[in-house]
Amino acid sequence: MKNLSFTLILLINLNIFGQSDLPSLNCEEFDYSINSNTRMNLKFLSLESYNETDKDTIQKDNVKTSENIELNKIFQKKYPNKITEHCINSNYYDRDSITNLKFCDEKTKIKLVDKKANFYIFKIDAFEVNNYLLFNADNEVIYTINNFPQILENGKIVIDAGFEYGGYNVINYYVFEEKEIKYFEFIVPMYYHLQNLKLLKSFNHKTKVIGDFIRYDYKEVPNKEGFGKKYVYDKDKYCRKLIMIF
């Protein structure tokens, strides 16, 4: 899991003025990258295979953004001054090491939004920051993620899927073991975005994840501003990649 990061706001309609050399739509180009300390399998699915997985799909948790006041009262009583509205004073996981993090900023709003298994889930709101903290009640360590997590297998697996700083879309798969965290971070090319995430039933305590990534072509539209060219996504022309991680 990475340091506190900025979250890029993705515009649904992309407006480009005075630019003629837009990237051409080539579905063969898909130069994804992987950052990992463990081995996992990656499989490209056909649309037919993707649809067949519907019967094994499990329901995802809804994204929470509002403060859970009663849960926060319980947390503050059990873990005083660890994470408050504007401050953090706790052990912090920073890629294979744990350090003590002390942070205070009146412009930063930290709110407890949910709890799943052994994890308290906090939402961070600040200037150009819009991500989440996980506080592990088992070891009292904080972990940072970019998106609202899907926490599975009683807290042993955490999925962080969606936007990441830099405009990329990712599926980050974390396995919490007794003495270490194994991670598999799948990062897609800049022009693709994650339009759906599937979680599949686990038969060996290792949940399968499927990402539905899409890249749209562009089309020129009338420019009412009166200068340069204006382009928006062409929803009729696209490339789609269906990828299973397991």
pLDDT digits (tens, 9 = 90+) for 117-147: 999 999 999 877 789 999 999 999 999 999 9
What residues contact 55, with CB distance under 8 A and at least 6 apart? none
What pLDDT does 126 receive?
85
- State the pLDDT at residue 227: 76
Q: Report how far residue 166's alpha carbon sits from residue 46's, in angstroms, rounded to the nearest whole number.
A: 29
What are phi and psi for residue 47, nearest 5 degrees? -65, -35
Strands 141-145 and 87-93: parallel
Strand ranges for 52-131 from DSSP E:
57-58, 87-93, 98-104, 109-116, 119-125
CB neighbour class for 41 (10 Å; exposed up to 12, middle 13-18, buried from 19) = exposed
Q: What is the pLDDT of residue 18?
A: 43
Who contacts 58 (Cβ-Cβ below 8 Å, separation ≥6)?
A: 199, 200, 201
Q: What is the pTM of this model?
A: 0.87
- Res 153: pLDDT: 94
Distance CA 2, CA 136 (A): 16
* pLDDT values of the chain reduced to their tens digit, one per residue, 246 residues: 654 433 333 333 444 444 446 778 999 999 899 999 999 999 999 999 999 999 999 999 999 999 999 999 999 999 999 999 999 999 999 887 899 999 999 999 999 999 999 999 999 998 777 899 999 999 999 999 999 999 999 999 999 999 987 789 999 999 999 889 999 999 998 889 999 999 998 877 789 999 999 999 999 898 887 778 888 999 999 999 999 999
